[in-house]
A = this chain, B = another copy of it.
Amino acid sequence: MPQNKAIPQHRKVYEVLRSHITDGVFHEGDLLPSENELCTVHKVTRPTIRKALDRLVNEGYIVRHQGKGSIVKGIPKGVGILSLTGTTSAIGQDNLLTHIVVKPEIRNWQEAFTFPLNQREVESGCIYMERLRLVNNKPVFFDITMIPNINLPRFTSRNFENKSLFDVLRKYYQVEVKGGEQKLLSIVADERLMEYFKVGPGHPVLQLNRKIETNRSGFYIYSQVFCNTAEYALYGIF
């Protein structure tokens, strides 16, 4: 055998079916081929097929109904990633504008929004930036992002106007978000937020402190987000 690493059959079947869903061969609401059909197509037995389908269920690609079949649910949405939801109407990407308040610059760490830092992070310093996001020309988000200055050449000279921070990290540095932890609290706007959000005193603001885990082990992104939820609420699935 030329192949050292044996990939299990159920995994192969899973990969095929999964890619067929993500690539649009099967659409939302479609009925997958029955287990027995899949058996003959892939030349394996039912338990093997079922193992592949079980995984697709767990990951949210399909739902199954006894007596009926396996129904395609679609591509699962990112869990825990909060997005905006309008109180009046849905918002597209068109009316979203990002204004860089503080361009990425190298600083010393102050503190990471109540998250403890390790020695390596403190020593390497951080890339600091502040952004204000406007929806329909109204400021809704203000966020501070701090990234350890570890193996990110020429990062501060990148252009962030069009691309999002995470797009840049993924494309140029192969850094991908895997998960993270967050703390949420409700505060009243301070002087700075009153100015940014153009609101009066006593205005309630949603604050998120996030520690974002990446595919680089030990490499975390720290982010503090303030959100004026008067017109738009934060939306997420879990």
Contacts and interface: CB of A to CB of B under 8 A. Distances in A.
A184 B182 contact: no
Contact of A80 (B54, B183, B205, B238): B238
Interface of A is mostly: strand
Contacts of A87: 114
Contacts of A184: 82, 184, 206, 229, 233-236
Given A80-B237, A184-B229, 18 more contacts: A54-B54, A63-B217, A79-B179, A80-B80, A82-B184, A179-B238, A183-B233, A183-B235, A184-B236, A185-B229, A185-B234, A186-B186, A186-B187, A186-B229, A187-B204, A187-B229, A202-B202, A206-B206
Contacts of A82: 184
12 contacts: A54-B54, A58-B58, A63-B217, A79-B179, A79-B238, A182-B235, A183-B235, A184-B233, A184-B236, A185-B206, A202-B202, A204-B205
B180 A238 contact: yes
Contact of A181 (B47, B209, B227, B235): B235
A85 interface: yes
Contacts of A183: 85, 233-235
A101 interface: no
Nearest to A54: B54
- A interface, size bucket: 35 or more
A3 to B, nearest CB: 16
A96 interface: no
A195 B81 CA distance: 33
A188 interface: yes
